[in-house]
Every structure is written in C-alpha cells, then in structure tokens.
Chains A and B, each alone.
Chain A
Amino acid sequence: SYELTQPPSVSVSPGQTASITCSGDKLGDKYACWYQQKPGQSPVLVIHQDTKRPSGIPDRFSGSNSGNTATLTISGTQAMDEADYYCQAWDSSTAVFGGGTKLTVL
C-alpha cells in the first residue's frame, strides 16, 4: 500500500520560515494536500492541488510538489501556526495521510 512519510517534528523561531516535507513514491505525479490541526480541533485544509490555498488561508502558507517530495512552507511563522500538519494524497482511489508533523514555534 502507498505510504507518505513526514518528520515527526519541526521547530522554527517566530518570523522565520518553516518547511515540512512529505515523501512518497512518485508523489510528484499525484496531487498533495496539507491539513493543519490544532489541539482539540478538527483539521483544516491549508493547501490543495499541491499549491492552492483555500479562501481564508493566509498567503504565508505555500506548497510545492516534485519528484518524491511535497513541501509545505510557512513564511514568517507566527505563534498561531503551532499545530500538527498532515499531508495527504490519493492512490488508486484511496486517500492516504502522512503520519503528521508537530510544528513547534519557539
């Protein structure tokens, strides 16, 4: 079965750029989505179709996807961005999530 691999944790200082990677076999041939989940809350879509931001998502969130790796980039990271982030893609009509990355802003 298809697997997506994320680093368990990423740390970033306020105002700096955070990058969270998601690796999977030929992931660049698929579309990647990214979801943000804060403690006790439901996930929120922040990036879809590799690079698109839903309305209401700040433009400091951006995405890319090429080769075997998709990347979520948060520019000018704010304390409110501290959360778990999950990548997701479809493979053979089934959705696959990565294991999640805890972003710490310190």
Chain B
Amino acid sequence: QVTLRESGPALVKPTQTLTLTCSFSGFSLTTVGKCVSWIRQPPGKALEWLARIDWDDGEYYSTSLRTRLTISKDTSKNQVVLSMTNMDPVDSASYYCAQTSKSSTGDYAFHVWGQGTMVTVSS
C-alpha cells in the first residue's frame, strides 16, 4: 500500500523560505518509472503543480515558479523535500505530495496523494 505524508511549518513569514518534506512508503524512488510531485491548492481555488523528481534524478519545475523552487530526494529515507524561497501571502495553500508513475506510453499520472499540509504566509 502506497502512502505519503507531508510535513513542515504551518506558518511562515513573508520573504522566508518554506521547506516541506514528503515521507512515503510502499514504493521506492529507485524503481524505474517512479516519481514524486508537489502540488498546491489555495483555499477555494484550483490545483497548481509545482515540481516533480524522478527515479533517474530528473527534476522538473513549474515554469512560473521555477526560480523559487528546489526539489530533492533522499532515497535511503524515502523522502522528498521541496523548498520555496521568498514566500508571500499569495503562497498560502494546502501543499500536497503525490506518487507519480510513468506509464509504458510515457504518460505520468498522480496516482496516490498525501493528505496535504496547510501553509499560511503571514507576518
């Protein structure tokens, strides 16, 4: 059974750097085709993809947020870390990590999601 759990601060101040950790079980990021993505959702608004890290160390970022994001993995701990710099109140959202799998046809889907963690940016 695949499970993911996000952890990190519930409150950050403007201009600070947010660091979130996704701890997962039931799969390994050393397995070909396995990836982890981060997605966020401001209250009452739509989902927004942030970043993805792949089994082969590939890193992919949202075009609009690329300069602020860093994704990394620790395969020994089954963890993926997302850092977002220069936080602003508009970044207040629920942040989800999701197991992402590459299909035989090359498509990626967010198969299993964590419960999400709410982050508020306020002074």
- Chain A residues with CB under 8 Å of B111's CB are 45, 48, 54
Nearest-neighbor residue (CB-CB) of A97 within chain B: B47
Determine how close the nearest CB of chain B comes to the CB of A30; give it in whole angstroms: 8
B47 and A1 within 8 A (CB)? no
Nearest-neighbor residue (CB-CB) of A6 within chain B: B46
Chain A proximity mask over B79-109: 1 for CB below 8 Å, otherwise 0: 0000000000000000010000001010111
Q: Considering the chains assembled together, what is the distance between the CA atoms of A49 and B48 in angstroms? A: 20
Interface footprint category on A: 20 to 34
A61 CB–B CB distance under 8 Å: no
Determine how close the nearest CB of chain B comes to the CB of A1; give it in whole angstroms: 6
B96 and A42 within 8 A (CB)? yes
A44 and B63 within 8 A (CB)? no
Which residues of chain A from 76 to 106 have a CB within 8 Å of any chain B CB? 86, 88, 90, 93-100
Q: Considering the chains assembled together, what is the distance between the CA atoms of A37 and B110 in angstroms? A: 13
- Chain A residues with CB under 8 Å of B105's CB are 31, 49
Q: Which residues of A contact B (CB under 8 A)?
A: 1, 31, 33, 35, 37, 42-45, 48-49, 54, 86, 88, 90, 93-100
30 pairs of residues in contact across A and B, judged by CB atoms under 8 Å: A1-B63, A31-B105, A33-B109, A35-B47, A37-B47, A42-B96, A42-B113, A42-B115, A43-B96, A43-B110, A43-B113, A45-B109, A45-B111, A45-B112, A48-B103, A48-B109, A49-B107, A86-B47, A88-B47, A90-B107, A93-B60, A94-B61, A94-B63, A95-B49, A95-B52, A96-B49, A97-B48, A97-B49, A98-B46, A100-B47
